[in-house]
Structure 1
Amino acid sequence: MVPPPATRDFIGRSALSIYFTICATLKAGSLVVGLPHVEWTVIQTIDVVADFAALGFLVLMVATTIARLPPVKTAEGIEPRIAAMIGCFATITLVAVPRVESPPQLQIVADLTVIVGFTLCIWCLWWLGRSFSILAQARRLVTAGPYQIVRHPLYACEAIVLLGVVLRNPIWITVAVCTIALTFQYRRMVNEEKVLQAAFPEYVAYKRDTPMLVPFLSSLNWWR
């Protein structure tokens, strides 16, 4: 017997809340353990700031997952679910990739890129609020804040974070995992747009007037 939608959403919300809470706890624990040993050079200070930015994003993901609205429509079929899972969790495998030594200048650029990316992710997620989800679902149409600049600002900002990750650890496996993640993130965007367009008739006009990923450069958004 298939549980009703409300029950499935509760199970999914609970599982994700627990998962993101564990991730945030582990990140906070590593910061607590590592802070006493930081020498507070420029490189290490920027590295710590990057870790705090990541922690802030994880904490906000916990809050928005717990408080999210019930979905009014969910994508059907297995492909949207596979794309959502791989797109969201592929980068977790990067923690198992050994970090290579890189020039200090590149480390600084990489960490600054990650800080900018996570800061923008926090901004986007704050505006998305209770509409946040992993699967392709429609909860509430958000068109304000960063969403009036592009239709998928959170994905664009996560791509900035991945760029920082690649710069910080520029080896082939990092590039491969990030490429896989971005590929499935694109599929997530396509699936989400189908659901949003079906749930909210006004999404057609919003889609016509707002670029997908690149702000102010509609000519580059050939995937509109």
Structure 2
Amino acid sequence: MSANHIRYTANAVITVFCLLVVLARLASLPASGRHLLWGGVAVVVSLLDIYFLVKSSFNRPKDIDTSPYGFLLGVVGSLGFVGSAVAIGYPVPDFPLAPSLRQAGGVVALLPYPFILWALLCLKDCLTVLPEAHGVVAHGIYKYSRHPLYMCYIVWAAANIMMFPSLPMIAVSVAHIAILVLRLKREEKLLLATFPEYRDYHRRTGLVGSLRFRLLLGE
């Protein structure tokens, strides 16, 4: 299978599968505020992902990471929210701080909304499932963060733990965060090797403002 066939398969199957699974799961969940808060975001983001992934499929990237490791990171990272959709159906243990934690989680879950939309509109047809090198996006929100989508997804994973603090949700969310960090590092390695100008961008732009999380990323 050629590199383009691999990316077409990843782009199409992952987004459609995620959308169908999330919608099916939402149909079986109670219409509580917390469930709708999570589900509404997942559906909107899935629709935008599908739109931009279809557009990116018509582009020819400078390089693609089609290695088994890169493919695994891309696919599993994309399926992370499917795991969360399944995990929210598990009973949440009752403990003294649970109501306050859930309310705080609901607030945290709202924070990424505008940044996700801003990032997708800036990224446009450079959105991918596999690590790909389409170009250096350094405008809009990308002036302030090298990877705003990854950071927003990590915040969402943390919010899921707060809103639905069951053991399955904690396990799925922690694993999802770890995979996102590994995929981020894989993508940066590809961009650094493909675009000389990315080195300057990488040097002057942190993950959030000037924050680089050196310990987390091993920079």
Shorter chain as normaliser: what TM range? 0.7 to 0.9
- Any conservation in 1 of the 2:7–2:129 contact (CA below 8 Å)? no
Secondary structure of 1:142's match?
Answer: coil
* Partner residue, 1:30: 27
Instruction: Give the 3 Å change call, closer, same or farther, for CA 145–197 of structure 1 in structure 2.
Output: same
2:54 is aligned with 1:66: yes
Structure 2 residue identity aligned to 1:99: P
* Partner residue, 2:85: 95
Candidates 173, 197, 205, aligned match of 2:200: 205
Q: How does 1:1-224 map to 2 (within 5 A)?
A: 2-3=1-2, 5-23=3-21, 25-26=23-24, 30=27, 44-45=32-33, 48-68=36-56, 69-97=59-87, 98-100=90-92, 103-211=98-206, 213-218=207-212, 220-222=213-215, 223-224=218-219
Equivalents in 2 of 1:94, 1:51: separation in Å? Answer: 10
- Any conservation in 1 of the 2:18–2:79 contact (CA below 8 Å)? no
Per-residue CA shift, 1:198-222, capped at 9, x if unaligned? 22110011111111x232335x545
> How high is the sequence identity, in percent, across the aligned residues?
19
Equivalents in 1 of 2:176, 2:18: separation in Å? Answer: 18
The worse-fitting range, judged by mean Cα deviation, of 149-158 and 6-15 is 6-15
Equivalents in 1 of 2:12, 2:38: separation in Å? Answer: 28
- Any conservation in 2 of the 1:87–1:183 contact (CA below 8 Å)? no
5+ residue gaps, structure 1: 39-43
Structure 2 residue identity aligned to 1:55: V
Equivalents in 1 of 2:137, 2:146: separation in Å? Answer: 9
Secondary structure of 1:141's match?
Answer: coil
Instruction: Give the 3 Å change call, closer, same or farther, for CA 13–87 of structure 1 in structure 2.
Output: closer
- Any conservation in 2 of the 1:117–1:161 contact (CA below 8 Å)? yes
Equivalents in 1 of 2:106, 2:157: separation in Å? Answer: 11
Following TM superposition, by how much is the alpha carbon of 1:80 offset from its aligned partner in structure 2, in angstroms?
A: 1.8
Structure 2 residue identity aligned to 1:78: P
Following TM superposition, by how much is the alpha carbon of 1:101 offset from its aligned partner in structure 2, in angstroms?
A: 5.3
Equivalents in 2 of 1:26, 1:122: separation in Å? Answer: 24
TM-score, with length taken from structure 1: 0.80
5+ residue gaps, structure 2: none
- Any conservation in 2 of the 1:88–1:185 contact (CA below 8 Å)? no
